[in-house]
Structure 1
């Protein structure tokens, strides 16, 4: 029996994504909050079970989308961070083995979990705020700041400047606004996370600068004595060109 065509699989995949978009966005944010709580204070049994349940739901969702995706390699390339974020919690299943204690102690795992979870939250924010660019950037900055601070605290809490989540949050906020501070990460994982936070901060700084410049240029263009044409002037020019074209066409038709 012939299976569904590529177009049918695409339509089915799109339908499933639309159906599950809202619940998965909500669960994505809940999972990020649970990760932050785990990195700072640790999870109680009920919260640990809730995190495990959400993780299993994400795995089922990922497997369904992978099966329906027409291009498997393309799907994996676009969602490799999501795949890693689903793989890391699986290490907790092996706690009964001796080597699991070693795996739980690797700071690099925490770094990957933070980065991959933030990546999932970025996709959730992008889905919920498609046309609200500034609101999206603002909320994303909050997510990166709070989640990044939790990661820095979990990785660097044995070193000066990161001995509490409040200090780690202050340090991360300073990095995001490109202000810097007197403390610097002492571990390779902490430096890696700090580097990613700094890159995000510079990108946000460039976006805000460009947004403000566009706003003021637009305000200047609305003035009558502006040295350059605004959107209203361009619209009026288009109308004049259309009227002139129409007059020329009428003149040609009369001469003909």
Structure 2
């Protein structure tokens, strides 16, 4: 298969290079899956073949720049099953309980890039099964409400997430992420714009503008997120990926 190409007029890394770096640093894929250089394999085909390291994803879901607390010592029940789900996210807010490795399929980002088709609509149903994960959320909702709400949001249990966030201090970013996942994207962006600046807020302001079609306005915000998020975080790689998408399609 011939590999798709896209022009890159800036010095931003190509999407292919970013995905190879992402695979090499955030997954347990074999070295043969992440070799650089010329290949006849599409980036989305490589992404479809890698397995996310559950502990790396858990670290990113608890990144202290989001919720200010260290990861719980034990992974939630069925966490590995959740991160191994084949379905890919595209427009993913930086928020507690989210993990950037959910952005697996790069083809829609690399080719025509139709933001309206890629951002959430709020009409998706909740994931079936995951009884163990939902039990973990119920047990840990009081002690870790932001992460528990994020996991509920990822499962599509939006009402549960809203209840966990109600009355919780420091939950403004997570409440905006819930609006975004419910398809209320303009409201979510307005909420992020009203918040004090932070790495997560800059990321989400840029991400939201990118997927609302405001690509030129997204670029400087995503650059700020790249500068603010440590390179050891998967969110740094995703910020650079979104920035490259903005550079290519802007």
Q: What TM-score comes out, normalization by structure 1 length?
A: 0.27
User: Which structure carries more helix by proportion?
Assistant: 1
Flag the structure with more relative contact order, 1 or 2, with Cα contacts below 8 A and sequence separation at least 6.
2
Larger radius of gyration: 1
